[in-house]
A = this chain, B = another copy of it.
Amino acid sequence: MLSKPMELLRPSKGMINVHPIQRGGILTEEARKVLLEWGDGYSMCDICLEGRVDLLDKPPVKRFKEEVAEFLGMDEVRFTAGARHAKFVAMSGFKGALVVDSLAHYTTYIAAELNGLRVYEVPNTGYPEFRIEAESYTDVFEKVKEETGDYPAVALLTHADYKYGNLADAKKVAEICRDYGIPLILNTAYTSGIMEVSGRETGCDFIVASGHKSWAATAPIGILATTFEFAERVFRVSEVRGNWSGRAFTKKEVALFGCSPVYGLPLVTLMASFPVVKERVKRWKEEVEKARWFVEEMEKIEGVMLLGERPKNHTLMNFETPSFNLIAKKHRRKGYFLYHELKERGIFGVQPGMTRNVKLNVYGLSWEEVERVAEAFKEIAEKYGLEVED
């Protein structure tokens, strides 16, 4: 053991990677440039005079924090070890029941579990669109009140979900929450950083974002943005005191582990990519156009149908593909045939072994690349005798 060196080659290298979680995290050239200079450990802590790196002027983390708050239309921002950690931090300010949409990412449930919050789900409309209707929040709020005697302490809405890429009506949900006086966490892991999101405009109380999923940063980096109203509560500072030494750490924020552990490459790459990110969100409309075009092309293939809302308002999409599944049943490689056929055509990121559904994300692909991906699926379909419309 320990003798054979480990292969560290990236499986997707050189290919078009349509993996749903990868598209928005691909580094910008600007971020790639800082990798070598800032790669070492806690490189940002070189000059830390404040005991909290988010207060630094050199590199300008403090200023960057303010810029991100402005960009997201919120008052206060912290950087976290991923959106999952940001959700954990936001929820740490509450006790009791949490209402979440039923398309929420599993890390939402885990963050609730870790905070001892009881989870109540907002149903979706089911097959084939799986929509979250804003009004359903009202029903669940009332249900929680009936069951527990209290309205929920906090609610969460997944802005665009990981499964169908449905874009929820955040503004409407925020209005309902505001009527009830229930704070709303908006999980924008798949939206902010690729499309414009403003907390002020939406009316939510927290924005959770994912740097490595949608802001072209290296993992892990999440963002938690909130209003002055909630900042003190969720970014609460330490109150422990050493019983012998008398030591205290009154500047350190407890749910962030004192000082968030992201002060090396994750934050530097987020900063380096930020100017590009601010620009790219303005081009979201064209990204959605590409996605809609792609859906049209895919649905020309026999037995392929988009799941989730129609038309698409996001670049992450999920097709049901029973026709590919039938091919898989007879193929010697079973469900893996599709993965291999795509790989041969330079396309990566579709779950290996899965042919009942195809989930992918075309964000940031050029028109030419989107065409190449569509072409590959059609070619494979034809190769195995499926009808493909002209």
Contact = CB atoms under 8 A, between A and B. Distances in A.
11 contacts: A8-B37, A22-B43, A41-B216, A41-B218, A42-B213, A43-B219, A49-B352, A49-B353, A85-B261, A120-B244, A218-B264
Contact of A109 (B1, B247, B263): B247
B39 A238 contact: no
A71 B381 CA distance: 49
Contact of A47 (B84, B262, B352): B352
Contacts of A13: 37
A78 to B, nearest CB: 14
A292 B35 CA distance: 34
Contact of A245 (B8, B81, B121): B121
B60 A6 contact: yes
Interface stretch (A225-233, A265-273, A282-290, A326-334): A265-273
Interface in A53-111: 58-60, 63-64, 66-67, 70-71, 81-82, 84-85, 88, 102, 106-107, 109-111
A37 B10 contact: yes
A348 interface: yes
Size category of the binding interface on chain A: 35 or more
B113 A238 contact: yes
A36 B46 CA distance: 23
A19 interface: yes
Nearest to A119: B240
Interface of A: 1-2, 5-13, 17, 19, 21-22, 24-27, 31-32, 34-43, 45-47, 49, 58-60, 63-64, 66-67, 70-71, 81-82, 84-85, 88, 102, 106-107, 109-114, 119-123, 211-213, 216-220, 222, 238-240, 242-245, 247, 249, 252, 254-255, 257-258, 261-266, 268-269, 271-272, 274-275, 278, 348-349, 351-353
Contacts of A9: 37, 59
Nearest to A222: B261
B17 A266 contact: no
How many copies of this chain are found per oligomer?
2
Q: What 5 A-B pairs come out closest when comparing CB atoms? A: A25-B41, A219-B264, A220-B261, A82-B261, A41-B212
A220 B40 contact: no
User: Which of A121, A211, A218, A239 is the most central at the interface, judged by chain B CB atoms within 10 Å of its CB?
Assistant: A218
A2 B67 contact: yes
B120 A11 contact: no
Nearest to A109: B240
